[in-house]
Amino acid sequence: MAVRSTGKASDVRRTPSASIRYEDESVREVPFAHVRLADFTGSVPWRRFRSVHGQAHYSGSYASATTGGHVVYESRLELARLLLADFDPTICGIFAQPCRLVARVGDRVRRHVPDFLLVMSSGTVRVVNVKPEDRLRDPEIAEALAWPGELVERHGWEYEIWSGADRVLLENVRFLAAYRRPGIVPDAEVEWAWQRLVDGEPMAVAERRLAGDGLVHEVRPALMTLMWSGRLSTDLSRPLSGQSQLWRCA
């Protein structure tokens, strides 16, 4: 499904473009071939979010550890993808609804607002659309998601259509997210636990050893903080428990 330009009437796009909204309410339209990551500095989500009683979608804002601010979402599935992005140590930037794309696809002018733009510490940029798996079987939805992907990949960025992840993994990450904010657990306690960890030790054993004559639950938050930050890993495809083995990552 090619994205092509044309030179016809004024409402027909000569080249694909991205419109970006900024904090001062201004909107900048950029030929997509010229879009750079720096263009999103100071930007805000393309759509304005409103909460309406009885609305079909579950929307809100998530306090992101990665951005240090709030990131909006419009469904529980988007929130799940956002949680995983916030947990991923290779991601250093998250933009929700980063822009509106406009392009001529066949004989139609199409418009699309991606769900997320993720920035990797390597410099890679990934555009993400979130859709339930059953809806991807709808030909119209599949088509609506295909042309933005072609446009994004031609630009040298990555494109992802995300439909969910393992339930246990999501539950574990959702639990660990309670420890994502700086200062929830004092840095001194986190570093104290880090210095005394033993690679491969089951969590229950580590907690008992670190607690000494104290209470196990007093040292557990430091371990959760280390897991959220990516300094400590375990098999998150299984429910977190006392048998979860802990491994240093840095």
DSSP letters, 89-131, are TTEEEEEES--EEEEEETTEEEEE--SEEEEETTS-EEEEEE-
Residue that is last in its domain, among 146, 162, 178: 162
Residue that wins the pLDDT comparison between 57 and 145:
145
Per the structure, the complete domain to which residue 226 belongs is given by 167-248
Residue that is last in its domain, among 162, 194, 225: 162
Residue that wins the pLDDT comparison between 57 and 83:
83
Residue that is last in its domain, among 162, 197, 227: 162
Query: C-alpha distances in angstroms, 148 versus 99, 124, 140?
Result: 12, 17, 14
CA 38 from centroid of its chain's CA atoms: 19
Same-domain status, 154 and 181 = no
Same-domain status, 37 and 101 = yes
Same-domain status, 158 and 172 = no
Query: C-alpha distances in angstroms, 100 versus 65, 115, 130, 148?
Result: 26, 10, 16, 10
- Please write the tens of the pLDDT for every residue from 127-147: 999 999 999 999 999 999 999
Residue 2, domain member (yes or no): no
Same-domain status, 46 and 127 = yes
Residue 216, domain member (yes or no): yes
- Please write the tens of the pLDDT for every residue from 72-107: 999 999 999 999 999 999 999 999 999 999 999 988
Which whole number is the average pLDDT over 110-115?
Answer: 97
| pLDDT above 70 for 5 | no
Mean pLDDT of the chain: 91
> Among the listed ranges 9-23, 25-39, 82-96, 135-149, which one has the minimum average pLDDT value?
9-23
User: In sequence order, which residues have a C-beta less than 8 Å from that of residue 48 and are 6 or more positions away?
Assistant: none
Same-domain status, 144 and 183 = no
Domain count, the chain: 2
CA 62 – CA 55 distance, rounded (Å): 19
Same-domain status, 191 and 155 = no
Same-domain status, 46 and 132 = yes
Residue 213, domain member (yes or no): yes
Same-domain status, 93 and 55 = yes
Cβ atoms of 126 and 136 within 8 Å: the answer is: no
| pLDDT above 50 for 6 | no
Residue 3, domain member (yes or no): no
- Confidence at residue 3, expressed as pLDDT on a 0 to 100 scale: 44
Residue 5, domain member (yes or no): no
| pLDDT above 80 for 9 | no
Residue 4, domain member (yes or no): no
Residue 231, domain member (yes or no): yes
Cβ atoms of 159 and 127 within 8 Å: the answer is: yes
> Among the listed ranges 16-25, 42-51, 64-73, 192-201, which one has the minimum average pLDDT value?
42-51
Rounded to two decimals, the pTM is: 0.89
- Continuous H helices in 155-213: 167-176, 187-196, 203-211
Q: Could you tell me which of 32, 57, 183 has the C-alpha nearest to residue 110? A: 32
Cβ atoms of 193 and 224 within 8 Å: the answer is: no
- Please write the tens of the pLDDT for every residue from 215-246: 988 999 999 999 999 999 999 999 999 999 99
Same-domain status, 60 and 143 = yes
User: In angstroms, how far is the first alpha carbon of the chain from the final one?
Assistant: 44
